[in-house]
Amino acid sequence: MNKPSIYITRKIPGELVNIYENQYDIRMWEKEEEPVPREILVKEIQHADGIISMLSEKIDEELLSKAPHLKVVANLAVGFDNINVDAAKKRGIIITNTPDVLSETTADLGFALLMATARRVIEANNYIKTDQWKNWAPFLLAGTDIHHKTIGIVGMGRIGEAIAKRAKGFDMEILYHNRSRKEEAEKKLGASYVSFDELLRLSDYVVSVVPLTDETKRLFNKDTFRKMKPSSIFINISRGGVVDEEALVDALKNKVIEAAGLDVFKNEPINSEHPLLKLNNVVCLPHIGSSSIETRTRMIQLCLENVDGVIQGRGAKTPV
Ligand code: 8YV
């Protein structure tokens, strides 16, 4: 009998995959930094029982209609806005994501971004590298304090809580807004639930950790930036689509807000021509929130466990 077949849409380390090779016919796109072309994915998916996908692949109705054997799509991310989950459900295809395993790592990066933006770490590094450091000055590259300031977390899920935990260590006042109250987080972390407008009005740091949905698309726009303090710093580690990027560029240029730290963009990858990269009061990262060796390894293992579980009939560990 033929072995069940798994397709992986990006080159991932062989040693993680090898342990499944006796049981499965495993194929993968052999490039690490380039997404699989759609026409190849369309071909591969026709034979696959399971696939491991990245955010760069649109797993839409048209693609799923070409996959007669497909039982499971394991997305290498906690977010799954690249997948038409309803279309998959209609076909009985299980979608899985990688929650929990990346929360602390993503929160670390969120905080690194917040600190780098507030304390102008990248500018300061470039300042030395370009031989501008000639003397001491009282306000040389003076940033803004983090400790004892107010942080507003938009989206108090697992990553939001991990951000709050870090903020507590910095003696910050923690506000949050979420679809539902999180009483545990309130008790454990001293976070206070406020309306979205209140959060914008009171926070020194506004951190977006919301998933991209119809409700959160362009949640941060001209109106919302105007509701924030002129001294506030906006941090986005969720999805670029939750921001109206033109409005953000305007807000940063015109000092409607002070600065922004961004790990995600509407259309990724961006390049040096992007208007956000022309601004000094912005720190940009290439969507590396969960990118530590330990966490990406664990995410890949979890995807493989999910695919194996569904194909072997035990079920998925982390279905969405
Ligand atoms: C991705 C992310 O995993 O988990 C998410 O939703 O945005 C990241 O952690 C990463 O970009 C790989 O697709």
Instruction: Indicate whether 147 and 61 sit together in one domain.
Output: no
Substitution site in 54, 59, 78, 209 for ligand 1 pocket (most atoms within 8 Å of beta carbon) = 78
How far is the CA of 219 from the CAs of 204, 229, 294, in angstroms?
A: 18, 17, 32
- Closest Cα partner for 36 from 7, 1, 74, 78? 7
Measured distance CA(90)–CA(189) in Å, rounded: 40
Instruction: Indicate whether 259 and 118 sit together in one domain.
Output: yes
Pairing of strands 192-193, 150-154: unpaired
Q: Is residue 166 part of a domain?
A: yes
Does 1 score more than 90 pLDDT? Answer: no
Instruction: Indicate whether 43 and 140 sit together in one domain.
Output: no
ipTM: 0.94
**How far out from the chain centre does Cα 209 lie?**
8
Q: Is residue 149 part of a domain?
A: yes
Instruction: Indicate whether 216 and 235 sit together in one domain.
Output: yes
Per the CB < 8 A criterion, the answer to whether 55 and 75 are in contact is: yes
Peptide bond connecting 275 to the previous residue in cis, omega within 30 degrees of 0: no
Q: Is residue 74 part of a domain?
A: yes
Instruction: Indicate whether 203 and 153 sit together in one domain.
Output: yes
CATH code assigned at 113: 3.40.50.720
Band (135; pLDDT cuts 50, 70, 90): very high
pTM above 0.90, yes or no: yes
Peptide bond connecting 68 to the previous residue in cis, omega within 30 degrees of 0: no
Report the side by side order of strands in the sheet with 233-236: 192-193, 173-177, 150-154, 205-208, 233-236, 259-262, 282-284
Q: Is residue 319 part of a domain?
A: no
Look up residue 195 and give its amino acid: S
Instruction: Indicate whether 85 and 160 sit together in one domain.
Output: no
Residue nearest to atom 11 of ligand 1 (CA): 287
* Alpha carbon of 300 to ligand 1 centroid (Å): 11
Q: Is residue 231 part of a domain?
A: yes
Instruction: Indicate whether 299 and 171 sit together in one domain.
Output: no
Residue ranges making up the domain that contains 92: 5-99+293-311
Q: What is the tens place of the pLDDT at every residue in 16-43?
A: 999 999 999 999 999 999 999 999 999 9
Q: Is residue 294 annotated as part of the catalytic site, yes or no?
A: no
Q: What is the tens place of the pLDDT at every residue in 177-217?
A: 999 999 999 999 999 999 999 999 999 999 999 999 999 99
Closest atom, ligand 1, to C-alpha of 288: 11
What is the domain count for the chain? 2
Q: Is residue 320 part of a domain?
A: no
Instruction: Indicate whether 82 and 147 sit together in one domain.
Output: no
- 121-129 vs 103-118: helix crossing angle, rounded to 10: 60
Instruction: Indicate whether 9 and 62 sit together in one domain.
Output: yes
Please give the average per-residue pLDDT across 228-248, as a whole number: 98
Measured distance CA(271)–CA(25) in Å, rounded: 38
Measured distance CA(111)–CA(303) in Å, rounded: 26
Q: Is residue 239 annotated as part of the catalytic site, yes or no?
A: yes
What was the pLDDT predicted at 190?
A: 96
Q: Is residue 39 part of a domain?
A: yes
Instruction: Indicate whether 116 and 237 sit together in one domain.
Output: yes
Instruction: Indicate whether 194 and 51 sit together in one domain.
Output: no
Instruction: Indicate whether 147 and 30 sit together in one domain.
Output: no
Residues whose beta carbon lies within 6 Å of some atom of ligand 1:
54-55, 76-79, 102, 287, 289-290
Band (271; pLDDT cuts 50, 70, 90): very high
